[in-house]
Structure 1
């Protein structure tokens, strides 16, 4: 069942989901269980993080003495560039779905909406972006589809980059099982436009929700893939500068890109954690531990998280300032059919 332009895609369901007296109660019960699971998971993440920090407190204190301002600033700059790469990726996918938004209003929608990923649940950034885009006559369902499509594109790209780079320069990360990451490479077939549409249809059947994903041109998918790969390379290089502070020499760029990509992949799969918190740090710290002291590896992972938050906040603030100067006329959508197609 297609979703109306003014309908929230998260509320669309197949069948007569709203009929009958038992449906609302069942929905409330499901939401309550989901909330409990999220709270318990977050408490477990916080407890594990506290335990790791307490356990490594002495080595963390020693590693902290090696922190220098210049490498951190370089890593922050690279983190900002890496975080920025998600914007053209999202924008080109939204254009492929039929809504080509101008740069200024699009940046405000994307970067401010991205702060929603730090709210537990894994979908609030998409919800925020869909709500803000309605002011530009872009259907909520279409913006939601673009956000979901960005994740679907990123998963195989990030996984493949982790597999290839770690297979070349980081076999110690997974030991004798390093080759298992190569199983991710065939997932690149998901980037074929027709396969993406079938995946959306399969997900709709499984979740019993309508996911209105139209066929996106292959050119748009290819451009989104390139931006995703670029962002991973830049973000991985930011990790390289942090590691060099503690080891005294620069590690292999491929190693840092691979570990960062593997951490991001873990964070994307653990959807209950806000922005992959806990999972990403654990993978980065474990991945770096064969090459440096455990306390220093943990500190690198924590610093990488702080810099990521700083990059997202910086971009959101800049987008808000730029958006205030942008004209408020309803012509924010470049294509004439941006709000009506589909």
Structure 2
């Protein structure tokens, strides 16, 4: 039975990979990334001198503070992920959820927004969980974060209308309402079960999620707070490197929110990072020159990568390494005992 279960999980993870790893997606993603690189190089070569006009300094205290603020946001995000995952019947310890959440966030820096979903499915499969419920919970979390980001961005445009990307804000509002409706448990579960039955991946369908619309609203609200924390971390990061006016706080938060919204709501599209960073640049350009906006987006990407690496490293040192050392110690201690109990080894 264990072999059959492992085979079924392997098929589920393989199905997810096949969905997300088509030749068209790979080619389109590579083309968009190359286009973005060329665009950045042209902008910096043409208007790079404007960057030199910016006063630059390095404040180590503020830089460390930006990482600290970002870490707190990630830790709160793990709590929401823990609840979403449990609603699909996958109940692991908060310790394991923190480990896997941290490690599975690293592939998000790759082109395409789907690798985190695949890596989570694989890591939870090693703990005995099924791949499809984990992947479904990951999609729900992705859409919840995207909706929260869209809501935060729309709220920011009410304060600063000049940073709005919508000529008609009601279009964005209708799109957000549609996405919120689609991830309602009654609708989303039916869509997933229909897709699984069509692909013959789950004969019995997906277990119904136990959360309700109230829980969904709470998750979105908490994610808005997490995104606010992330936006403030970006502002502190900017302040650690250059002189920045307090009036830049709203544009920075809005740019962070719109980047997260695009990256999460359109995670299934090839070249998602390009779309995400492009939206961030568009929001920043009313208050900053184009070269400065591009440079800041590149800085944010480096900061995000460093934050994920630091978090994964801290999790490994504090959670994984002690466990491995204890296992090695027990194995070392038990080996002489077994040797001493073998026939002929005693008196």
**TM-score calculated relative to the size of structure 1:** 0.77
Question: Counterpart in 2 of 1:72?
Answer: 63
Please name the residue that 2:224 is paired with. Answer: 229
RMSD: 3.4
2:81 is equivalent to residue 87 of structure 1: no
Name which of 204, 208, 215 aligns with 2:209.
Answer: 215
1:1-342 to 2 correspondence within 5 Å?
6-12=9-15, 31-63=22-54, 65-66=56-57, 68-166=59-157, 168-174=158-164, 177=167, 179=169, 180-187=171-178, 188-201=180-193, 212=206, 214-218=208-212, 220-244=215-239, 246=242, 248-251=244-247, 253-268=249-264, 269=266, 271=268, 276-321=272-317, 322-326=319-323
Q: Deviations 1:152-189 (Å, cap 9, x if unpaired)?
A: 222222212211221x2121113771624333442433
Cα distance in 1, alignment partners of residues 58 and 161 from structure 2 = 28
Judging changes above 3 Å, is the alpha-carbon distance between structure 1 residues 90 and 84 closer, same or farther for their aligned structure 2 residues?
same
Partner of 1:335: none
Structure 2: give runs of 5+ residues left out of the alignment: 1-5, 328-347
- Deviation, structure 1 residue 44: 1.8
Instruction: Please tell me whether the aligned partners of residues 97 and 215 of structure 1 are also in contact (alpha carbons under 8 angstroms).
Output: yes
CA distance in 2, matches of 1:239, 1:202: 41
Distance 1:255 1:120, change over 3 A: closer
1:163-216, CA deviations, whole angstroms, 9 ceiling, x for partnerless residues? 1221x2121113771624333442433453213224435665898876836323
The separation in 2 between residues aligned to 1:159 and 1:79, in whole angstroms, is 19
User: Runs of 5+ in structure 1 lacking a partner?
Assistant: 14-26, 330-342
Q: Structure 1 residues 119 and 35, CA, compared in 2 at 3 Å: closer, same or farther?
A: same
Partner Cα separation in structure 1 for residue 197 and residue 126 of structure 2:
31
Partner of 1:340: none
The offset of 1:298, in angstroms, is 2.5
TM-score (norm. length: structure 2): 0.76
- Distance of 1:173 and 1:206 partners within structure 2: 43
Q: Which moved more, 1:278-287 or 1:135-144?
A: 278-287
Say how many residue pairs are matched: 311
